[in-house]
C-alpha cells in the first residue's frame, strides 16, 4: 500500500464505520450507562444519556443481595480449570496429528469436530442422571469436566492448524539432538507455538465463561457461575433495570477487559486458526 | 513422513483425547437411546405399569419398556413441529444475516480510516457477551415495549412501538442471536480479506477492473473458504441456542428443539420422552452435519 | 569410526516405491555427495540414514553396528537441514547447546564446547542473538555449529546451501570443505547441484528414481559415465547426445560428446553446423549450433569467439572423448 487514500474519502469512511460500530456496541454501552443510574432514571423517558446522577449504589446492592463474588469466583475456576486440562490433553494430540499423521488422521480430526455437532440435549438426560448418582451435580469438578470435553475438539483443531505452520524439520532437529517426546513438546514445540496456544487459551476461556446450557442445567448454587447469577435476574428483578445492568456489567466486564488487552490473540483465536 | 516409532508415539499421544471424546459421545448416547424406550418419569420412577397395561415388560429396575411410544408421542406432539421449524428458522436467518452482514462489515473494516482498532473491538464486543446477559439486556432495556430503547426510537420517528416478545418473538430472538454472531463472521471474513494478495489488487487495478467486478471475481471467490468456516461453526452453535430462549421466556412461541427436550426432561420430568426427543435432535443434527462436513472436508484438503 | 553401510535399504509407501533397494559402503572420513534431480530419493535416503525415516526392509550399519532401528540421536550422526531448522525461540547459544543439554552434560563442559564451536565458526559475538536477527550465512553457521558440538561420527547435510545467494554459496562450500579437512569426519552431502557435487565430493553417488546409477569420484563420473543419465547429469553445460545415423557410425544407439571436446574450424571437420546463439562468459564462449543430422549442439570455444549468427562452422569430436551408449542407455565399453 504505497499510495495514500484521499482525506475526504477517509473521513467519510471514518464517519460511517464509527456510526456502525457504535450502533453495534450500543446495547453494551447502554447497559454500562444504565448501571450507574438510579432505578427511576433507568426507565425515564426520554432516556438519559450522560446527564444523570452517576451512582455506584447498584453495584453494592447487587453484590450484597446476590453475592457476585462467589459466582465470579466459580466462573474463573471453571474457565481456567477446563482450559488448563483441555490443553494438557490437546497439545500431545495436536502434535501427533500435525507431525506424525497416519492415514486416518484427517478422519479422526473430522470425527472429533463432529462430536461438536451432537446437540447437548441428546446427552443432557444421561449426564444429568450420572451427575446426580455420582454426586457431581453442582460441583466444580463435574462442570470443569463437561466444559473441558465440550471445547476439546475446537482446541485440538485450533492447535492442529497452528502446529501445521511449524516446520517439521525443527522438531526433527530436536530428535537428532536427542530430545525425547516429552522434551520435544516442552522445550521446542510449546515455546514455538506460544502465540497459537495463547489464542486457543483465550478463546476457550471465553467459550467456557459464556457457556450457558450445561452450567444452567447442572448447577444450582455451590458451583454456579455468572450465567446462573444473571439467570436469577430473569424474572422478578428484570423490572429493576439499573440493578440488572449492574449485574450484567459485572458478568461481562472480565471478558470484555480480557478481550481488550489481548485483541491480537483474540482475533486469531476467534478465527479458530482456520483463516490466515 | 515419520518413523514407525514416532507414529506409535503419536497414537499414544492422541489416545487420551480420543478416549475422552469417545466416552463423552458414546456413553450418554447409549443411555439416551435406552431411556428413549422406557416409560420413565423422575417423579414416579417405578410406575405400576403392570396395572395400567398388564403384561408390560420390565427392565432390571422395574421400569416399563415403552416400545416406540415415546417416539410416536414426541413426533406427534404439535410442539415438535413448531420447535423444529423454529430451530431451522433461527439457524437459517442468523446464518443469512451474519454472512451478508459480516461481508459488508468486513469490507468496511478493510478500508483505511481513523480509529480502526477501536471500531474493530466495538464490533467484536457482542461476541464476548454472555448469552444470558445479551438476552436480558435485549429483552428489557432494548425491546421493552414501554421504556425500551427501541420503543423510544420508534416513537421518535412517529411509529407505534412493537411489543417484540408478544407479537414477534421469533424476530426478536433472531435479532439478538444475530447481534452476537455477526461480529464473529465479520472478524473471520476480515482476517481473510486482509490476506488477499496485494499484487492481485494491483493487477486488477492495472486491468481497469471496476469495483463491483473486482468484488465479484476476485474478492468473493477468496472469501468462499472462510464463509464455509463461518457457516460450519455458526451452525454448530446456532442449532443449540438455549440460553436466549430460557432467559427471555419465549419458549412458547420461539422455542427450538433443544428447549423442547429440556422442557420434556427437566421440567416435566419425562425422561423417556426427553430421551426420544434428544435422539431425534441428534439424528436431525447429523443430517445437517453430514452435508456440512462434506463441505468443510473439501475445504480442509485445499 | 564413522563407516556407514546401506544393505539393500528399501523404502516404500504402500505400492509407491521410493527406494527399491540401495547398497552402498561409505568409508570413514569420506566426503560423499548424493546428487540427482528433485524427487530422485536422495533426501529420503539421507533421512533413512539419519533415522528420520524407517526402512521398509534392509539394514543400515554405522561404524559396523546395525543401527536400522536405533533412534536418530543414538546413531552418532548430526544433521544440517535445508531450512537450517534452528529453534527460533532460543538464542544461538541455546541452539548450539540444546543437544548437549539433552545428553545431560555438565554445564561447564557445555559452555566450553559451545565457546569452541562458536569461535571456529566466527559466531562468538552473536551467541546471545536469536536466529531471526542473523543473516542467512550466519544461520547456516549456527546450524553447522549445532552439528559440530556433538562431535559426531558423521555429518549429514540436506541441501544446506540452497537457500543462500550465489556468492555466499561459494564461500560456504569452501568452509564446509575446510571443515571436512579439519575434522576428518565422514560427511554425506545431498544436493541437486552437480557443480557442488563435482567440487566437494571424494565420491559422488548419482541417484535416479531411487536407484543408484553410479558411484565414483567426480572425474570418474565425468570421464566414464556408466549411463546416459549420468552422462547428461554430470558436466556443465550438458553433454551433447546424438542419436540416429551419426550414432550408428559408432555402433551405438546414442553417442555423447561434451561441448569442451569438440574442435571448431572454419574450414573443415566431421560435422557442419550453423551458429544460432552465442553465450559470452568472458573466459569461454558457448555456441549453440544447429548441426543438421546431429541436431542442436552446444560447443565450447575458448576465450572470446567472434560469432556471427548463421555463420557456418565445422566441428570435430575428440575420438577418445566420444561416449557410446546402447539402446538401454548403458555405456558400451571397448
Show which subunits contact A, needing at least 3 CB pairs below 8 angstroms. Answer: B, C
SS3 C330: strand
Question: For residue B302, what pLDDT band results from cuts at 50, 70 and 90?
Answer: very low
Q: Residues A194-209: pLDDT tens digits?
A: 888 888 888 889 889 9
pLDDT for B241: 87
Question: Are A224 and A122 in a shared domain?
Answer: yes
- Selected residue of C77, C97, C98 to mutate for chain A interface (largest A Cβ count, 10 A): C98
Structural domain total, chain B? 1
- List every span in chain C annotated with CATH 2.40.50.140: 239-325
Structural domain total, chain A? 2
pLDDT for C49: 93
pLDDT for A276: 45
Question: What is the arithmetic mean of pLDDT over B105-123?
Answer: 89
Domain of A71?
67-232
SS3 C18: strand
Quote the CA–CA distance of B125 and B187 in Å, as a whole number: 11
The size of the A-C interface in CB pairs under 8 A is 58
Question: Are A54 and A167 in a shared domain?
Answer: no
CB contact under 8 A, A118 and B25: yes
Mean pLDDT of chain B: 83
* C-alpha angle A167-A169-A172 in degrees, rounded to nearest 5: 130
Q: Residues A148-195: pLDDT tens digits?
A: 999 999 899 888 888 888 888 899 999 888 888 888 888 999 899 888
pLDDT for B283: 87
Cα B30 from chain centroid (whole Å): 24
Burial bucket for residue C15 (CB in 10 Å: 0-12, 13-18, 19+): exposed
pLDDT for B1: 45
Q: B241: domain CATH number?
A: 1.10.3720.10
Q: What is the 3-state secondary structure (H, E, C) of C280-313?
A: ECCCEEEEEEECHHHCEEEEEEECCCCCCCCCEE
**Where are the alpha helices (H) located in chain B, listed in sequence order?**
4-35, 49-52, 69-76, 78-109, 116-128, 131-137, 149-156, 164-167, 169-194, 198-206, 211-214, 220-238, 243-248, 251-254, 257-262, 271-301
In a domain, B201, yes or no: yes
Q: Residue C9 in contact with residue C58, Cβ under 8 Å? A: yes
pLDDT for residue B119 is more than 60:
yes
CB contact under 8 A, C79 and A173: yes
Question: What is the arithmetic mean of pLDDT over C311-329?
Answer: 90
Question: Are A82 and A155 in a shared domain?
Answer: yes
pLDDT, greater one: A210 or A5: A210
In a domain, A21, yes or no: yes
Q: Residues B22-57: pLDDT tens digits?
A: 998 888 888 888 888 888 777 766 655 655 555 556
In a domain, A195, yes or no: yes
The contacts of residue B275 (CB under 8 Å, 6+ apart) are A125, B32, B33, B34, B35, B36, B38, B40, B70, B265
pLDDT for B54: 56
In a domain, B102, yes or no: yes
CB contact under 8 A, C98 and A179: yes
pLDDT for residue B60 is more than 70:
no
CB contact under 8 A, A172 and C86: no
CB contact under 8 A, B35 and A125: yes
pLDDT for residue B58 is more than 70:
no
Query: Which of C51, C53, C71 is closest, CB to CB, to B1?
Result: C53
- Residues of C with CB below 8 A from B2's CB? 52-53
- Residues of B with CB below 8 A from C54's CB? 3-5
Q: Residues B258-297: pLDDT tens digits?
A: 888 888 877 777 888 888 888 888 888 888 878 877 776 6
Pick from B78, B59, B246: which is nearest to A120 by CA? B246
ipTM: 0.83
Q: In what order do the strands lie in the sheet with C240-243?
A: C240-243, C254-257, C323-325
Q: Residues A86-115: pLDDT tens digits?
A: 999 999 999 999 888 877 888 888 788 778
In a domain, A240, yes or no: no
Query: Which of B130, B133, B229 is closest, CB to CB, to A272?
Result: B229
**Residue A197 contacts C where some CB pair is shorter than 8 Å:** no
Question: Are A13 and A119 in a shared domain?
Answer: no
The CATH code for residues C4-230 is 3.40.50.300
Q: How far is A12 from chain B (nearest CA, A)?
A: 8
Question: What is the arithmetic mean of pLDDT over C17-23?
Answer: 91
Quote the CA–CA distance of A63 and A75 in Å, as a whole number: 15
Question: Are A165 and A182 in a shared domain?
Answer: yes
Phi, psi of A119, deg, nearest 5 = -65, 135
What size, in residues, is chain A?
Answer: 276
The size of the B-C interface in CB pairs under 8 A is 12
Pick from C201, B23, B186: which is nearest to A126 by CA? B23
- Residues of B with CB below 8 A from A226's CB? 130
Question: Are A138 and A211 in a shared domain?
Answer: yes
In a domain, B293, yes or no: yes
- Residues of B with CB below 8 A from C47's CB? 1
Question: What is the arithmetic mean of pLDDT over B222-240?
Answer: 85
Q: Residues C46-93: pLDDT tens digits?
A: 999 998 888 999 999 999 899 988 888 888 899 999 988 999 999 999
In a domain, A241, yes or no: no
The contacts of residue C136 (CB under 8 Å, 6+ apart) are C163, C164, C165, C168
- List every span in chain C annotated with CATH 3.40.50.300: 4-230
Q: Residues A222-266: pLDDT tens digits?
A: 888 998 888 877 765 556 888 889 989 999 999 988 887 777 777
Tell me if the bond preceding A46 is cis, omega within 30° of 0: yes
Taking each helix axis as running N to C, give the angle between helix B69-76 and helix B78-109, from 0 to 180 degrees, rounded to the nearest 10. Answer: 60
- Residues of B with CB below 8 A from A45's CB? 147, 152
Give the DSSP letter string of A62-129: HHHHH-HHHHHHHHHHHHHHHHHHHHHHHHHHHHHHHHS--TTHHHHHHHHHHHTTS-THHHHHHHHH
- What Å distances lie between residue A93 and A15, A18, A109, B7, B107, CA to CA? 47, 43, 10, 12, 37
**Residue C284 contacts B where some CB pair is shorter than 8 Å:** no
Question: Are A98 and A200 in a shared domain?
Answer: yes
Taking the CA atoms of C193, C196, C199 and C204 in sequence, report the sign of the dihedral they define: negative
Question: What is the arithmetic mean of pLDDT over C248-273?
Answer: 90
Domain of B226?
71-301
C239-325 folds as: OB fold (Dihydrolipoamide Acetyltransferase, E2P) (2.40.50)
Question: For residue A71, what pLDDT band results from cuts at 50, 70 and 90?
Answer: very high
Amino acid at each position: 500500500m504505497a499510495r495514500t487514500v484521499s482525506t475526504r474519502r477517509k473521513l467519510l469512511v471514518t464517519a460511517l464505520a464509527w456510526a456502525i460500530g457504535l450502533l453495534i456496541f450500543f446495547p453494551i454501552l447502554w447497559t454500562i450507562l444504565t448501571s450507574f443510574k438510579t432505578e427511576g432514571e433507568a426507565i425515564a423517558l426520554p432516556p438519559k444519556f450522560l446527564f444523570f446522577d452517576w451512582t455506584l449504589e447498584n453495584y453494592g446492592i447487587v453484590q450484597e443481595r446476590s453475592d457476585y463474588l462467589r459466582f465470579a469466583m466459580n466462573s474463573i475456576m471453571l474457565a481456567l480449570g477446563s482450559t488448563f486440562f483441555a490443553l494438557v490433553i490437546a497439545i500431545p494430540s495436536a502434535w501427533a496429528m500435525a507431525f506424525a499423521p497416519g492415514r486416518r488422521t484427517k478422519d479422526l480430526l473430522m470425527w472429533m469436530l463432529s462430536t461438536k455437532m451432537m446437540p447437548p440435549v441428546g446427552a443432557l438426560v444421561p449426564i444429568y442422571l450420572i451427575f446426580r448418582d455420582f454426586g457431581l451435580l453442582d460441583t466444580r469438578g463435574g462442570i470443569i469436566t463437561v466444559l473441558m470435553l465440550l471445547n476439546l475438539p475446537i482446541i485440538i483443531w485450533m492447535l492442529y492448524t497452528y502446529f501445521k505452520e511449524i516446520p517439521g524439520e525443527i522438531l526433527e532437529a530436536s530428535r537428532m539432538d536427542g530430545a525425547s517426546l516429552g522434551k520435544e513438546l516442552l522445550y521446542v514445540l510449546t515455546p514455538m507455538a506460544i502465540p497459537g496456544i495463547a489464542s486457543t487459551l483465550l478463546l476457550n476461556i471465553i467459550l467456557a465463561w459464556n457457556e450457558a446450557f450445561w452450567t444452567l442445567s447442572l448447577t444450582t448454587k455451590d458451583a454456579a457461575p455468572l450465567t446462573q447469577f444473571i439467570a436469577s435476574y430473569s424474572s422478578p428483578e428484570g423490572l429493576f433495570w439499573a440493578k440488572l445492568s449492574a449485574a450484567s456489567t459485572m458478568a461481562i466486564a472480565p471478558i470484555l477487559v480480557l478481550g481488550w488487552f489481548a485483541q491480537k490473540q483474540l482475533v486469531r483465536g476467534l478465527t479458530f486458526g482456520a483463516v490466515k | 513422513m515419520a518413523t514407525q516409532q514416532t507414529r506409535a508415539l503419536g497414537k499414544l499421544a492422541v489416545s487420551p483425547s480420543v478416549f475422552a471424546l469417545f466416552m463423552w459421545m458414546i456413553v450418554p448416547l447409549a443411555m439416551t437411546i435406552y431411556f428413549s424406550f422406557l416409560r420413565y418419569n423422575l417423579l414416579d420412577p417405578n410406575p405400576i405399569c403392570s396395572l395400567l397395561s398388564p403384561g408390560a415388560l420390565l427392565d432390571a429396575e422395574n421400569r416399563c419398556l415403552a416400545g416406540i411410544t415415546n417416539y410416536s408421542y414426541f413426533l406427534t406432539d404439535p410442539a415438535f413441529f413448531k420447535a423444529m421449524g423454529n430451530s431451522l428458522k433461527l439457524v437459517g436467518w442468523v446464518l443469512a444475516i451474519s454472512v451478508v452482514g459480516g461481508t459488508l462489515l468486513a469490507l468496511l473494516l478493510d478500508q483505511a480510516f481513523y480509529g480502526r482498532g477501536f471500531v474493530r473491538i466495538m464490533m467484536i464486543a457482542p461476541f464476548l457477551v454472555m448469552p444470558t446477559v445479551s438476552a436480558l439486556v435485549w429483552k428489557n432495556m432494548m425491546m421493552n415495549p414501554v421504556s425500551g430503547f427501541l420503543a423510544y426510537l420508534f416513537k421518535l420517528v412517529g411509529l407505534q412501538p412493537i411489543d417484540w416478545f408478544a407479537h414477534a418473538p421469533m424476530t426478536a430472538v433472531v435479532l439478538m442471536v444475530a447481534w452476537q454472531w455477526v461480529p464473529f463472521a465479520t472478524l473471520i471474513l476480515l482476517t481473510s480479506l486482509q490476506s488477499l494478495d496485494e499484487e492481485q489488487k494491483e493487477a486488477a487495478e492495472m486491468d481497469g477492473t471496476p469495483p463491483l467486478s473486482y468484488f465479484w471475481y476476485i474478492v468473493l471467490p477468496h472469501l468462499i473458504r472462510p464463509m464455509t468456516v463461518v457457516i460450519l461453526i455458526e451452525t454448530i452453535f446456532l442449532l443449540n441456542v438455549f440460553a436466549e430462549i430460557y432467559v427471555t421466556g419465549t419458549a412458547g412461541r420461539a422455542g427450538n428443539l433443544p428447549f423442547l427436550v429440556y422442557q420434556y426432561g427437566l421440567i416435566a420430568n419425562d425422561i423417556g420422552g426427553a430421551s426420544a426427543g434428544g435422539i431425534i435432535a441428534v439424528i436431525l443434527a447429523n443430517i445437517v452435519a453430514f452435508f456440512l462436513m462434506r463441505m468443510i472436508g473439501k475445504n480442509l484438503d485445499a | 569410526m564413522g563407516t556407514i553401510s546401506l544393505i539393500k535399504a528399501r523404502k516404500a509407501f504402500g505400492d509407491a516405491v521410493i527406494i527399491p533397494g540401495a547398497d552402498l559402503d561409505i568409508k570413514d572420513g569420506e566426503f560423499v555427495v548424493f546428487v540427482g534431480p528433485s524427487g530422485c530419493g536422495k533426501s529420503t535416503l539421507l533421512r533413512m540414514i539419519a533415522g528420520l525415516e524407517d526402512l521398509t526392509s534392509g539394514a543400515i550399519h554405522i561404524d559396523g553396528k546395525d543401527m536400522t532401528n536405533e533412534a536418530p540421536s543414538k546413531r552418532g550422526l548430526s544433521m544440517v537441514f535445508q531450512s537450517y531448522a534452528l529453534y527460533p525461540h532460543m538464542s544461538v547459544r541455546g541452539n548450539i547447546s540444546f543437544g548437549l543439554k539433552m545428553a545431560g552434560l555438565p554445564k561447564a563442559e557445555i559452555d566450553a564446547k559451545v565457546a569452541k564451536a562458536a569461535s571456529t565458526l566466527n559466531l562468538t559475538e552473536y551467541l546471545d542473538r536469536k536466529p531471526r536477527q542473523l543473516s542467512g550465512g550466519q544461520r547456516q553457521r549456527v546450524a553447522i555449529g549445532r552439528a559440530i558440538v556433538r562431535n559426531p561420527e558423521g555429518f549429514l547435510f540436506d541441501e544446506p546451501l540452497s537457500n543462500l545467494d550465489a556468492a555466499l554459496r561459494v564461500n560456504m562450500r569452501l568452509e564446509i570443505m575446510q571443515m571436512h579437512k579439519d575434522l576428518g569426519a565422514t560427511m554425506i552431502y545431498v544436493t541437486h547441484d552437480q557443480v557442488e557435487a563435482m567440487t566437494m565430493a571424494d565420491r559422488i553417488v548419482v541417484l535416479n528414481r531411487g536407484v543408484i546409477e553410479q558411484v565414483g569420484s567426480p572425474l570418474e563420473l565425468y570421464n566414464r559415465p556408466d549411463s546416459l543419465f549420468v552422462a547428461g547429469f554430470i558436466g556443465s553445460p550438458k553433454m551433447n547426445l546424438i542419436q540416429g545415423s551419426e550414432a550408428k557410425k559408432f555402433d551405438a544407439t546414442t553417442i555423447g560428446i561434451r561441448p569442451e571436446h569438440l574442435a571448431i574450424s572454419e574450414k573443415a571437420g566431421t560435422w557442419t553446423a550453423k551458429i544460432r546463439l552465442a553465450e559470452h562468459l568472458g573466459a569461454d564462449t558457448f555456441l549453440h549450433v544447429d548441426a543438421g543430422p546431429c541436431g542442436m549442439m552446444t560447443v565450447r570455444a575458448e576465450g572470446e569467439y567472434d560469432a556471427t549468427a548463421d555463420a557456418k562452422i565445422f566441428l570435430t569430436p575428440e575420438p577418445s572423448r566420444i561416449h557410446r551408449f546402447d539402446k538401454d542407455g548403458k555405456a558400451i565399453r571397448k
